[in-house]
Amino acid sequence: MNMLSKKSIVDAGSLEPEDIELILSNADSFLEISRRDVKKVPTLRGKTVINLFFEPSTRTRTSFEIAAKRLSADIINFSSSSSSLKKGESIIDTLKTILSMNVDLIVIRHSDSGTVKMIDRFVDIPVINAGDGKYQHPTQALLDLYTIQKRFGKFEGLKVAIVGDFLDSRVARSDMDLFEKMGMEVTIVAPTMFLPEDYSEMNVRHNIDEVIKDTDILYILRMQLERQDRKFYPSVMEYNRFLTLDMKRLEEMKPGSVVMHPGPVNRGTEITDEVMDVGGTLGEKIAIEEQVTYGVAIRMAILYLILG
Ligand code: NCD
């Protein structure tokens, strides 16, 4: 069947392996469209998508916008800072207004975990979670999978280390769900303060040096400064000592291994400037820009499979 098993994409964990397979296999043709001179197909002509962003975003919002436009859908950007929410309107009333305009699909980002699930229950049209609080960011996890598939041609048995602020990261939660589902071995590298209370079931290390030589994919998380209701990890210097990817560590990584990050990168904290700007063979390890490119193809595939 050429359809997803659910109407909406709210979390990564509930995607069936067939859904994941379908999205990844469709992404290739959309990647090809994005590389053409004329990057547009009429597939979703006449469909209306609304980008509801209640939290700042550059890449995810733009990525959905470009994806919708390349498929000829009309996309409307709604940002909470310039909306009636500022005049005291509730989210549900805002939604009712939007639904009255016969929109076909809603993409939502919100700072509260669970908001997208609530909205999905409330509306009949498909909803795509573009990141909610500390909970989930399923399209990021899908584009991460696609990036890994492109680099390695397989998933089974690959060793992934997810490094940094696991506790506050929706990306980490969604990635973890999909990486394990596809048979990869996931290790979390984080100090205890960045781990959930009960991490006894997880494979945990506290120092990046313990995994650096052996890992296929080093997945570095952004420090979620806006989501930490406590003081920053003792200091940036401490962070640098145990967790930051610097040149020495990059050089220790095995041949063929890759570095990923969902962006935006806090240079000097998660990754040094030197590593961010490195060229040559070492530079080929850094897959951060690929993630962004593949993100558009993955979102085109998702919009197509839901609305096409
Ligand atoms: C992520 C997000 O906003 O959840 N960024 C993104 O969507 N590419 C990651 C982050 O902010 O840490």
* Residue 236 confidence (pLDDT): 85
C-alpha span between 217 and 209 (Å, rounded): 14
- Write down all domains in the chain, each with its CATH number in brackets: 17-136+292-307 (3.40.50.1370), 138-288 (3.40.50.1370)
Distance in Å, CA 1 to ligand 1 centroid: 32
Kindly report the protein residue whose alpha carbon is nearest to atom 9 of ligand 1: 262
Q: Kindly tell me if the per-residue pLDDT of 230 is higher than 70.
A: no
Atom of ligand 1 nearest to the CA of 169: 12
Kindly report the protein residue whose alpha carbon is nearest to atom 12 of ligand 1: 222
Q: Quick check: CB of 222 below 6 Å from ligand 1?
A: yes
Tokens of 3: 């359809």
Q: Quick check: CB of 262 below 6 Å from ligand 1?
A: yes
53-98 confidence digits (pLDDT tens): 998 888 999 999 999 999 999 999 988 776 677 677 788 888 999 9
* Residue 204 confidence (pLDDT): 97
Distance in Å, CA 46 to ligand 1 centroid: 30
Do 182 and 16 meet the contact criterion of CB atoms below 8 Å apart? no
Distance in Å, CA 264 to ligand 1 centroid: 7
Q: Quick check: CB of 131 below 6 Å from ligand 1?
A: yes
Rounded mean pLDDT, 268-297: 97
Name the CA dihedral angle for 251, 253, 258, 259, rounded to a multiple of 10 degrees: -70
C-alpha span between 116 and 119 (Å, rounded): 5
pTM of the complete model: 0.95
Q: Kindly tell me if the per-residue pLDDT of 229 is higher than 80.
A: no
